Amino acid sequence: MFKKMIADSMSKSPWIYHVNTGSCNGCDIELVAVLTPRYDAERFGFKLAGTPRHADIVVVSGPITSQSKERLLRTLEQVPEPRCIVTLGSCPQSGNVFKGSYSVEAPIEKFVHVDVAIAGCTPKPEAVIEGLYKAAMILKEKREAMKK
């Protein structure tokens, strides 16, 4: 029963940690918009955590500049299991208009496995909620897989 409660709670209280890897700030604004009264992601228990140690879902935005790559990987290492990685916008997945720049390490898939990708430039807050909700469900599956 205790285990089931933990697994159920996993998807109901996902805490978000947001990493900006050189984003233009568009996606970051939309992520914050998700917590505003109009969209109110706290209905599903979403909360912005201050540190990666408290996080369940890591939201990455930006095209991963060479400077921020090392920091991103170090941040991701500090997130306790089970965790989910969500990319926000086109930039982390492909580099978007910065593709081919000498200072951009674009596809994040080179370094880590991404669970949910939210496409858009920038995505609508509704799409962000949808993506985060999907990530929360994956979190539950991961927790159930962890204990087997």
Partner 1 sequence: MNILMGLFHILVFPGLLFVCIIGLLLAGVDRKVLARMQKRVGPPLIQPFYDFFKLMGKETIVPHAANKTAFLAAPVIGFASLVVTMLFIPVFGYSAFSGSGDLIVILYLLTIPAVALIVGGSASGSPYAGIGISREMVTMMSYEFPLIMVLLAVAKKAGGAKLLFSLTGIVAWQQSNGSGIIHVALIPAALALLLIIPAEVGTQPFDVAEAETEICEGPLIEYSGAPLAMFKLNTAMKMFVMTSLFTCLFFGGIDTGIVALNALILVVICIVLTILCMTLIHAVTARLKIEHLFKFYWTFVAGLALCSLILVWIGL
Partner 2 sequence: MMFPFLRKAISNLFSKPSTENFPAVNVEAKPNYRGRIEYDPEKCVNCGECVKVCAPEAITRTYEDLGDGTRKGTYHFNLTSCTFCGTCQDFCSTNAITLTEDYHMVGDAADLFTEGSWIHKIITGKLFCGADCIFCGMCMRNCPEQIINVDRKTKTWEVDHDRCIKCGICQSKCPKKCLDFVEEEDWAAAEKAKAEALVVKEAEEAKAKAAKLAAAKAAKAAKEAEAAKAAEK
Check residue 117 for interaction with partner 2 (CB under 8 A). Answer: yes
Q: CA-CA distance, 42 to 120, in Å (whole number)?
A: 23
130's contact among partner 1, partner 2, none, with CB below 5 to 8 A by partner kind, is partner 2
Interactions with partner 1, residue window 38-77 (CB under 8 A): 40, 42-45, 48-51, 53-54, 56
81's contact among partner 2, partner 1, none, with CB below 5 to 8 A by partner kind, is partner 1
Check residue 110 for interaction with partner 2 (CB under 8 A). Answer: no
Instruction: Judge whether 117 and 94 are in contact, CB under 8 Å.
Output: no
Nearer to partner 1 (CB atom), residue 65 or residue 75: 75
Nearer to partner 2 (CB atom), residue 54 or residue 96: 96
Instruction: Judge whether 72 and 60 are in contact, CB under 8 Å.
Output: yes
Structure tokens at 7: 């697994």
Q: How many helices (H) and strands (E) does the chain have?
A: 5, 5
Structure tokens at 32: 């914050």
